Structure 1
Amino acid sequence: MKKIIATIVCTLCSAVICAQLIWLSVDKQPFAGTYSRNYHQLLTALQNQAALAYIPAVTAGVHTERRFMLSAIQQHHVMFALPVNQGGFGLHLAQSGFSGFRQQSIGFAYGRQLGERCSIGMQMDYLSKTIPGYFSVHTIVGELGCLIHLTPGLHVGMHVFNPTGNTLRRLDNETIPAIYSAGMGYEISAAFLLSVAVVKETAAALLTKVMCEYRMLKVLSLQLGICTDPQLNTAAIGFTLQQLFVLLSANYHPQLGITPSAALVWELKKH
């Protein structure tokens, strides 16, 4: 009976969390700045590790969200970036769940410039899932990304998570999904970025997302996003206060409701 109950709990939690988003850096749905050159920040760099090559200073941040307003599947992230010559290192820690069901990941990343118009990046992730008193399983997966700056205002990028399809070995040999994404960003002006991305996850429909970011003022920016399957509408507002960046956002699912989130990013020095 204990095994049956634990299996049911694990299955339900995995389904509600929506294909193990905790395994990913922040979220599988990219921010508008993921495909850009001048709109990068720590959150976008961890969605495509190639952007770590452009982080100008030591940066640290935290990100938290309560998915569909359920405390049992809230997610927390801690992030860190260290620039080096022609590149940068990144660290990403994530945790999701509650005392009876927990998922965690630790990721080490590196991004490097290849000339003036291209950068590549990779990340190795240690993933674990635990039901206390029943089982604890883990695996290691990889991520790869690249960014190409076609012109000063036009940018494209690609990213792949777990291309080898690694599994968590337990009763049902759960497969960690392979997720492929590609996108394009166009900086219409110094204050407005328009991006589009497609994401394909194993055994899931193709997801398309259109995003924009508008810097109304030097200290204030707005972000909007619309995506399909799952249908999610997102909105965010960002505040830049010297070395501190604060992002408050939410997305809405027609059936499951609102997911609020907040991020705090601190940069050692202003560039």
Structure 2
Amino acid sequence: MKTMYLIIILLLGSSLLTAQVGTPSVISAKSAGMGETGVTFSDINGIFHNPASTASLQSLSATLAAERYFLGSPIQTFGLGVVYPSGFGAFGLNLQYSGIDLFNTQKIGLSYGRILFDRLSIGAQFDAINIQIKDYGAKAALTFEAGLLADLTRNLRWGIHVFSPANVEWVDGTPLPTVFTTGIAYLPSEKTFLTMEVEKILTEQLGSKLVWIISF
């Protein structure tokens, strides 16, 4: 039986359309098909969006993501995520690359996710981020991110994620952007998925994403 998808996406706010140096840039294939949402994912695809999303994984999992922004453009991103679940929680490795030869950023993240209660998971990730500019050099910074995932009801899930909440110095004394994301996912059935996310970069205006996925 063939599966077809109807996707309705609403984007509000210019912060969703502009890139910020140092902010998370790699999205999974699942996220790309869902308006770049992901804070409410509860599978391996969530490793790029919310470290709490991997807490419920039961076996060794991996994901690979690649994206080119425009046809023929040299700007591209790559991401690799691996999660190893154990009796003490889920340990993850997150590798990302974004940019071109003249200007690019690399990110290495070590994450940990754990189920606190039946319906509540938390996660954290420590990041090493490096920016490379030709004829200028490289600049590295250390930061962290954290997330929470809660099943409010059988059909309603809430996620929250914060990237670099500390004042971490970046290029020329500029701090790394702090990004807050929160979202709600409504799953009335196995074939219907409705999610809305709100994203706030402290230096930009508020942005939101509404995605309605129906498979049939």
Whole-Å separation in 2 of the counterparts to 1:82 and 1:127 = 22
Equivalent residue number for residue 102 of structure 2: 100
Equivalent residue number for residue 127 of structure 2: 125
Equivalent residue number for residue 144 of structure 1: 146
- Aligned CA distance change for structure 1 residues 195 and 86 (closer, same or farther; 3 Å): farther
Are the counterparts in 2 of residues 89 and 108 from structure 1 also a CA contact under 8 Å?
yes
Please give the per-residue CA displacement for 1:173-231, whole angstroms capped at 9, x wherever unaligned: 23211000111111111211111110000211101111133343xxxxxxxxxxxxxxx
**Which ranges in structure 1 are unaligned for 5 or more consecutive residues?**
1-15, 217-271
Counterpart amino acid of residue 35 in structure 1: T
- 3-state DSSP of counterpart to 1:167: coil
Following superposition, the deviation at residue 92 of structure 1 comes to 0.9
- 3-state DSSP of counterpart to 1:177: coil
Please give the per-residue CA displacement for 1:10-64, whole angstroms capped at 9, x wherever unaligned: xxxxxx97112x641624x87556425xxx3322233111111112221112111
Structure possessing the higher radius of gyration over alpha carbons: 1
TM-score (norm 1): 0.66
Equivalent residue number for residue 211 of structure 2: 211
Whole-Å separation in 2 of the counterparts to 1:122 and 1:167 = 20
Following superposition, the deviation at residue 114 of structure 1 comes to 0.6
Equivalent residue number for residue 192 of structure 2: 192
Whole-Å separation in 2 of the counterparts to 1:70 and 1:206 = 31
Equivalent residue number for residue 19 of structure 1: 20
Greater relative contact order (CA < 8 Å, ≥ 6 in sequence): 2
Are the counterparts in 2 of residues 53 and 86 from structure 1 also a CA contact under 8 Å?
no
- Comparing 83-92 with 153-162, greater Cα deviation is found at 83-92
Equivalent residue number for residue 40 of structure 2: 35
- Aligned CA distance change for structure 1 residues 88 and 214 (closer, same or farther; 3 Å): farther
Q: How many residues align?
A: 195
Equivalent residue number for residue 136 of structure 2: 134
Whole-Å separation in 1 of the counterparts to 2:99 and 2:47 = 25
Whole-Å separation in 1 of the counterparts to 2:215 and 2:135 = 50
- Aligned CA distance change for structure 1 residues 81 and 214 (closer, same or farther; 3 Å): farther
Whole-Å separation in 1 of the counterparts to 2:47 and 2:109 = 13
Whole-Å separation in 2 of the counterparts to 1:126 and 1:105 = 6
- 3-state DSSP of counterpart to 2:58: coil
* Equivalent in 144, 157, 160 of residue 158 of structure 1: 160
Aligned-CA RMSD value: 2.4
**Which ranges in structure 2 are unaligned for 5 or more consecutive residues?**
1-16
Following superposition, the deviation at residue 150 of structure 1 comes to 1.1
Please give the per-residue CA displacement for 1:103-132, whole angstroms capped at 9, x wherever unaligned: 100001010001101000000110001124
If each structure's helix is expressed as a fraction of its own residues, which one has the higher value? 1
Within a 5 Å distance, the mapping from 1:219-258 to structure 2 comes to: none
Counterpart amino acid of residue 84 in structure 2: L
Are the counterparts in 2 of residues 48 and 146 from structure 1 also a CA contact under 8 Å?
yes
- Comparing 117-126 with 88-97, greater Cα deviation is found at 88-97
Counterpart amino acid of residue 154 in structure 1: L
Are the counterparts in 1 of residues 55 and 113 from structure 2 also a CA contact under 8 Å?
yes
Equivalent residue number for residue 45 of structure 1: 47
Whole-Å separation in 2 of the counterparts to 1:87 and 1:179 = 25
**Residue 109 (str. 1) matches residue 111 (str. 2):** yes
- 3-state DSSP of counterpart to 2:55: helix
Are the counterparts in 2 of residues 31 and 211 from structure 1 also a CA contact under 8 Å?
no
- 3-state DSSP of counterpart to 2:149: strand
